[in-house]
């Protein structure tokens, strides 16, 4: 059950219980007893609490943040171990257990990064309001949770480090803007600087046997992949006058920053070269084992993506077609949209291709082969696991120092500016590379 529905249901039940209490007193022609009055007032306080939390969740959803599904922890009677269940019917996400015996679960696109130490505080903070209040030293309009998030400490650069609720919300906004996340990539919150996971590099072989005949053995080969988060940062100088005169400026700045970070993150996740590249991330384009069905040339119909789907099925990809995603450059999407047959009618996608979800981004390479060939990727993006260092998500407001965009220098002190700095640390692995395939058949030169 989503948190919004959970709060609404709690409020409805409280109203029903209070109405029953009032009707009982009316029918018996009496007032509340002291105990009944205390219980009635307690219910009223609970109702106000749930009402405030519901309003905070409505604001989260209105700002485009992932909703927060209601979680249940129920004991497994067979093992005595607590296991997490959900109120939806989706397949379970990737999970692992660390050396301390703690279980960790990946997050889907529509799940916010959990902060168990914050409780409902993380859902009642408006990052834009906090940013504006910190910039102007005006806190009168903040609720108790937002004021608490400002107590994040100061740094030697004369600035402020905003506390966890704001950082988590900003990173959730960046995730919500990421095309790779929308395609199904999972987020794995990391509590350590490195995380090593196992992957299967060679499958075992199964055999039929006759009675009394020995079964031939086969080995399964396991390899190790390591997540080592790299830093993605954005710093924006903004004038105090702009924040004072435009009430929506802080929220707009956060939207712009998170959109920029999402696009840069997508570029690395899709086509990062790893090694000595600026991002250091090996993206899908260069990930070992990802299928390559590039053909070159301009398509006349949907045969090429249909053949890619066939290649995924031949690689034993079990994902339903409607859960596959085709990510391509907007120019490629427009080209396919404008395909016309010889008789003048619009070319329709094949039955397979028509089931696949389509997303677009300019983060994909558009100069393959020394020309204008555009890289496309089709497959099961839930195999992409993005490790996100939870302690490496920061939002800072710097009141001193200078920054430069390469041509102009901005000085916070002399120009009455504030430098807003946001950064995160991330890396990625692919669990089953053969369930993703490259395409680069479109030459728009």
| 8 A C-beta contact, residue 201 and residue 222 | yes
Q: Give the three-state DSSP class for 403.
A: strand
Per-residue pLDDT band for 392 (boundaries 50, 70, 90) equals: low
**How many whole angstroms separate alpha carbon 73 and alpha carbon 82?**
6
Q: Assess whether pLDDT exceeds 80 at residue 214.
A: yes
CA distances in angstroms from 140 to 137, 162, 380, listed in the order given: 9, 17, 48
Q: What dotted CATH number matches 98-445?
A: 3.30.2400.10
In the chain, the percentage of residues whose pLDDT exceeds 70 is 74
More confident residue, 83 or 359: 359
What tens digit of pLDDT does each residue of 11-66 get? 888 999 999 999 999 999 999 998 899 899 989 988 888 888 788 777 666 655 55
Q: Which residues contact 10 (CB under 8 A, 6 or more apart)?
A: 46, 50
With CA atoms as reference, report the closest residue to 279 among 431, 426, 80, 433.
Answer: 426
| 8 A C-beta contact, residue 283 and residue 272 | yes
Instruction: Return the H-helix or E-strand segment holding 438.
Output: strand 436-443
Q: Assess whether pLDDT exceeds 60 at residue 127.
A: yes
**How many whole angstroms separate alpha carbon 187 and alpha carbon 395?**
20
Question: How many other β-carbons are positioned within 10 Å of the β-carbon of residue 423?
Answer: 17
Q: Which residues contact 263 (CB under 8 A, 6 or more apart)?
A: 177, 361, 362, 363
Which stretch, 110-124, 238-252, 277-291, has highest mean pLDDT? Answer: 277-291
Average pLDDT, the chain: 78
| 8 A C-beta contact, residue 366 and residue 285 | no
Q: Assess whether pLDDT exceeds 50 at residue 71.
A: no
The residues that bridge with 420 in the sheet, in sequence order, are 236, 397
Domain boundaries, the chain: 3-62, 98-445
CA distances in angstroms from 134 to 96, 138, 156, listed in the order given: 39, 7, 17
> What token pair was written down for 432?
């089953």
> What token pair was written down for 424?
């995160």
- For residue 371, what is the DSSP state? T
Q: Scanning the structure block, which residue is given the tokens 């927060």?
A: 68
Q: Assess whether pLDDT exceeds 90 at residue 104.
A: no
**How many whole angstroms separate alpha carbon 374 and alpha carbon 362?**
10
**How many whole angstroms separate alpha carbon 13 and alpha carbon 33?**
21
Helices (H), 318-426: 330-337, 351-355
Per-residue pLDDT band for 360 (boundaries 50, 70, 90) equals: very high
**How many whole angstroms separate alpha carbon 262 and alpha carbon 86?**
28
Per-residue pLDDT band for 172 (boundaries 50, 70, 90) equals: confident
pLDDT-wise least confident of 2-11, 326-335, 373-382, 412-421: 2-11
Asked whether the CA dihedral 99, 101, 102, 108 is positive or negative, the reply is: positive
Q: Which residues contact 123 (CB under 8 A, 6 or more apart)?
A: 3, 53, 56, 57, 60, 68
- For residue 433, what is the DSSP state? G
Instruction: Return the H-helix or E-strand segment holding 149.
Output: helix 144-149
With CA atoms as reference, report the closest residue to 353 among 291, 283, 439.
Answer: 439
């Amino acid at each position: 059950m989503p948190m919004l529905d959970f709060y609404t249901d709690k409020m409805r039940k409280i109203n029903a219980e209070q109405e029953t209490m009032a009707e009982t007193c009316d029918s018996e022609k009496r007032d509340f007893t002291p105990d009944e009055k205390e219980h009635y007032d307690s219910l009223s306080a609970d109702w106000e609490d749930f009402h405030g939390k519901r309003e905070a969740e409505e604001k989260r959803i209105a700002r485009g943040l992932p909703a927060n599904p209601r979680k249940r922890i129920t004991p497994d009677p067979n093992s005595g171990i607590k296991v997490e269940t959900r109120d939806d019917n989706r397949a379970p996400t990737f999970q692992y257990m660390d050396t301390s015996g703690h279980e960790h679960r990946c997050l889907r696109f529509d799940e916010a990064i959990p902060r168990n130490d914050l409780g409902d505080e993380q859902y009642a903070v408006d990052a834009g309001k906090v940013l504006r209040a910190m910039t102007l030293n005006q806190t009168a309009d903040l609720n108790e949770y937002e004021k608490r998030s400002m107590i994040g400490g100061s740094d030697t650069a004369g600035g402020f480090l905003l506390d966890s609720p704001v950082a988590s919300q900003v990173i959730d906004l960046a995730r919500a803007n990421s095309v790779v996340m929308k395609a199904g990539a999972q987020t794995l919150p990391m509590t350590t600087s490195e995380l090593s996971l196992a992957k299967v590099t060679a499958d075992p072989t199964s055999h039929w046997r006759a009675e009394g005949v020995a079964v031939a053995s086969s080995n399964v080969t396991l390899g190790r992949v390591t997540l080592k988060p790299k830093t993605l940062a954005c710093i924006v100088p903004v004038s105090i006058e702009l924040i004072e005169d435009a009430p929506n400026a802080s929220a707009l700045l956060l939207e712009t920053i998170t959109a920029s970070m999402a696009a840069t993150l997508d570029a690395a996740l899709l086509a990062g070269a790893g090694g000595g590249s600026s991002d250091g991330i090996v993206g899908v384009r260069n990930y070992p084992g990802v299928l390559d069905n590039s053909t070159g040339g301009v398509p006349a119909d949907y045969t090429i993506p249909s053949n890619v789907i066939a290649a995924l099925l031949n690689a034993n990809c079990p994902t339903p077609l409607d859960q596959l995603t085709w990510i391509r450059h907007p120019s490629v999407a427009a080209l396919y949209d404008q395909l016309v047959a010889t008789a003048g009618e619009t070319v329709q996608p094949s039955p397979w291709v028509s089931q696949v979800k389509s997303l677009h981004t300019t983060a994909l390479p558009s100069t393959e082969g020394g020309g204008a060939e555009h890289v496309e990727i089709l497959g099961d993006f839930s195999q992409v696991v993005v490790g996100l260092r939870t302690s490496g998500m920061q939002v800072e407001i710097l009141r001193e120092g200078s920054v430069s965009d390469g041509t102009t220098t901005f000085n916070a002190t002399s120009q009455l500016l504030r430098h807003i700095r946001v950064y995160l640390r991330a890396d990625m692995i692919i669990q089953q590379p053969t369930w993703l395939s490259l395409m680069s058949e479109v030459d728009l030169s």
